[in-house]
Chain A
Amino acid sequence: MKLWKRMGAAALAGALALSMAACGGGNAAASGTSTAASSSGAAAATGSNVLNVMTEVEVASLDPQLATDGTSFEVIADFTDGLMQMDADGQPVPAIAESYEVSEDGCTYTFHLRQDANWSNGDPVTANDFVFAWQRAADPATASEYSYMMSDIGQIKNAAEIIAGEKDKSELGVTAVDDKTLQVELTVPVPYFLNLMYFPTFYPVNQAFYEGLAEGTFGTSPDTVLSNGAFILDSYEPAALSFSLVKNPDYYDADKVQLDGLNYQVIKDSQQAFMSYQNGDLDIVKLSGDQVDQVQGDPELSVHGAGYLWYLTLNQAGVPALANQNLRLALTHAIDRTSIVEDVVKDGSLATYTAVPPQFATGPDGSDFSEDQTMFQDVCSDDPAKAAEYLEAAKTELGQDTFTFQLLVEDTTESQNVAAVIKEQVETNLPGVTMEIKVEPKKQRVEDIQEGNYEVCLTRWGPDYADPMTYLNMWITDNNNNYGKWSNPDYDAIIADCTTGQYVSDAAARWQALYDAEKIIMEEAVIVPVYTKADACMIKSGVTGAEFHPVALNRVFKNATKG
């Protein structure tokens, strides 16, 4: 036994020595780290005048015609200018196009490109760069997910036929008149056409450069993209979790660009992201709802509209009771939206009482389409008493006293929390109505509502362009996103008049017609709007000029400064 004890002592001593060595190593590491930890934020582009920003997801593509997500769009726009760019209010302002003319019928746009716009390889930006890029977007061989920006939304001549494979891409209604003049033909006037020009699908691609690359390599590294914008891609690889851009010294507007560069860091864990911000490694970080609660009142907290409308879609075709208008109106009135945004979502999201959410579409007079959230208060409000009245009417009409609906939600914390509150509010305010929550992964939820395999679903829609039509178009008969399968010929007629009919060239009349259309949606309670999503961020004091938008480019850093 003595031997074992000695052995034990020896082993213990050994272990101690080892652990001390480990501690020593730890200290050595620590002294080396203080520099490493503090410099990790400014890893690639050095210097204090570099903005360190966080994103939640990787860049899916740096190819402007293939990208579909907000992060990709944002980064592409960091180094690429379109014909137009967004100003701080989301209005289109000339960028690569110095000026433009619109024909009297509103169907032909002529853009004059600036002489001093160059690609980072020295080539001038030409009209052909746009022709090439737009043809790529429409070409079925490219299989661009956003090709409908060219056809249904942009209404560019022959785009729909090219996408359908009926015409050759060379027939697209876009022509390079000369190197610096681009002409675009539309099938009908599109009131928001200039707003589309800052959407990355419409960004130019240098044809010679593109064709000089090995197939499939465009946009996969700093060497395989060209910049004509404020920054140049400095380090990047596909699906990178960190990458950086530096200021483009040859940018035509370089004088106005204050930053030396941008460092992006992908962080999927919101806790880690916030700690990195507090540590000083990040200048801009996105917060989760719970985190917003912790920092209420902090001057660095900044809330921006994200544009997404969360609403309840009601399956009128599949559930007979939901085809009853009074029952739908009862549901609309039974929900306490204020409590949902203040007590559940908590990130600055807005309670919403309109079918078109606020903060993204401004009209001919410059006002927000949905700024007035009380315009439909007769048919949409948080009013349990009214809800009960509608319910009684529905019960009489349907000859039924109890109703059970399945409420489908996706498996995110926020959606599940919101659904739990909606269930409680509905069951309290509407005696006899029961809601059973069904949770599914997002892909499954979307598939189910598209196939009509649901009863009530909490779903969302984000605007593709800055016009109410991006929402209102959804509820025309047989639209893919008309999940409730609601149909009203009057409604279809107004929308047709606004897209291709009598109102296309009269902005004021069109705007009024859009309100008329929205009114039908609200009066018939086709959907139950709940809230408009906001993004809550922390922005380090001293950082100014970062612009946030709910459409197209969520963040623009071109005019940002870091004090």
Chain B
Amino acid sequence: MKSYILKRVLISVFTLLAITLVLFCLLQLMPGSPFNDEKLTDDQRIVLNEKYGLDQPVLVQFERYVANLVQGDFGVSYNISKNTPISQLIQTRLPISIQVGGMAVALGAVLGLILGVIAALNHNTWLDSLCTAISVLGVSVPSYVFALALSYTLGFRLKWLPMLYSANTPLLSSVMPSIALSMFTMASIARFTRNEMMEVLGSEYMLLAESKGINGAPLILRHALRNALIPIITVLAPLIVDLMTGSLVVEKIFSIPGVGSLLVTAIQSNDYNVVIALSFIYSAMYIGIMLVVDLLYGVIDPRIRVTGEGGRMGFFARWRLVLFGRKKVAKV
């Protein structure tokens, strides 16, 4: 298991480097400069490019960037906040994004599970239909529409919640953005939980458990839900990453000083260093989450912990598990 983790971490590092290099090359293709292209003369452009080393070949820039990165230096912002170290910009903003995102994941996962379980237990009744309807709505309506609707009703009309983020009331200000962001997660999890639960509930070991006299909540929670959780966790991971992209728009709507709104501004204004730094962090988080999910399998499914099989499961095997259910991968 340890060597497996080590291998995964090493692969992650190389993946991150590759992502950074690709980004470096892509940003070279972006039109214009990080500076005020409308007003600058050619001479000034040369001075500015020299000052920030943008006149160097891409590979030289990349090498220097990685060398600085190893020391935790992401460089400085060119125009969003001139000459400010990006680590300083991110330091205050990342926790806010993580807080909003975390609240959204928690909310979405919990509500999604509840909806899914209710739907599965009440298969083919009006409750099931209701849950399905909510799921369809959640998956198909983009988060910014929810954001605007919430902002209008709860913020503007009812005045229950602040419409704009305020540093004085961080939790309260995060409620609407979190709800808006959680809808997709909730809907996806609900749909998935319903399918998984139905499959588990129909399995033979459930019948066995029931015949052994286990019933009520322990039967559902310990035997059914626990077995259904594995594939659900697998989908939850990519959903967390979806949240990050969703946060780009939602942060803008609620004026949340997070990294999402920063990334949008950076892309629009060619603030190369900020784009690369944030993409790096997003990628690192994505890879980290995937790693954690892998390790979580072991905790949730004792069989994987014992054999270590799940841990060595490859990329395709994991997605097969996600797409076709657990039966084909781990037989009882």
Interface residues of A (CB under 8 A from B): 3-4, 6-8, 10-12, 14-15, 18, 26, 29-30, 32-34, 36-40, 43, 57-61, 63, 66-69, 140-141, 143, 145, 147-148, 163-164, 216, 220, 237-242, 265-269, 271-272, 275-276, 278-279, 281, 440-444, 446-448, 450, 461, 464, 480-481
Contacts and interface: CB of A to CB of B under 8 A. Distances in A.
8 contacts: A33-B169, A36-B166, A40-B168, A59-B81, A145-B44, A238-B77, A272-B253, A446-B38
B288 interface: no
A355 to B, nearest CB: 17
A276 B163 contact: yes
Contacts of B77: 238-239
Interface in B161-192: 161-169, 172-173, 175
B169 A3 contact: no
B265 A58 contact: yes
Given A33-B172, A34-B159, A60-B81, A268 B127 contact: no
Interface of B: 30-32, 35-44, 47-48, 51, 76-77, 79-85, 88-89, 92, 114-115, 117-118, 121-122, 127, 148, 151-152, 155-156, 158-169, 172-173, 175, 201, 210, 215-217, 219-220, 252-257, 261-262, 265, 268, 270
Contacts of B79: 60
A443 B148 CA distance: 29
Listed from nearest, the 7 A-B pairs whose CB atoms lie closest are A443-B32, A444-B31, A238-B81, A8-B121, A40-B166, A61-B82, A238-B84
Contacts of B175: 29
B80 A268 contact: no
Contacts, number: 194
Contacts of B151: 272, 275
Given A10-B216, A37-B161, A267-B164, A480 B42 contact: yes
B30 A10 contact: no
Given A11-B118, A43-B167, A238 B44 contact: no
B49 to A, nearest CB: 9
Given A11-B121, A68-B36, A447 B31 contact: yes
Given A4-B121, A220-B84, A30 B160 contact: yes
Given A7-B220, A148-B44, A36 B169 contact: yes
B275 to A, nearest CB: 13
A281 B217 CA distance: 49
A7 B167 contact: no
B163 A447 contact: no
B257 A241 contact: yes
A161 to B, nearest CB: 12
Contacts of B40: 145
Given A216-B85, A239-B84, A36 B168 contact: yes
B277 to A, nearest CB: 13
Contact of A239 (B41, B160, B262, B268): B262
A39 B76 contact: no
Given A29-B175, A143-B51, 15 more contacts: A3-B210, A4-B201, A11-B114, A15-B114, A33-B169, A33-B172, A34-B159, A68-B36, A148-B41, A268-B255, A269-B252, A275-B151, A447-B31, A480-B41, A481-B38
Q: Which of A10, A276, A278, A461 has the most CB of B within 10 A?
A: A276
B216 A7 contact: yes
Contacts of B166: 36, 40, 43, 242
A220 B88 CA distance: 10
A443 B270 contact: yes
A148 B265 CA distance: 27
Nearest to B42: A480
A239 to B, nearest CB: 4
B257 A240 contact: yes
Contact of B220 (A11, A272, A446): A11
B232 to A, nearest CB: 16
B37 A447 contact: yes
B164 A8 contact: no
Given A10-B216, A238-B89, A480-B41, A268 B121 contact: no
Contacts of B121: 4, 7-8, 11
Given A7-B220, A275-B152, A444-B32, A241 B84 contact: no
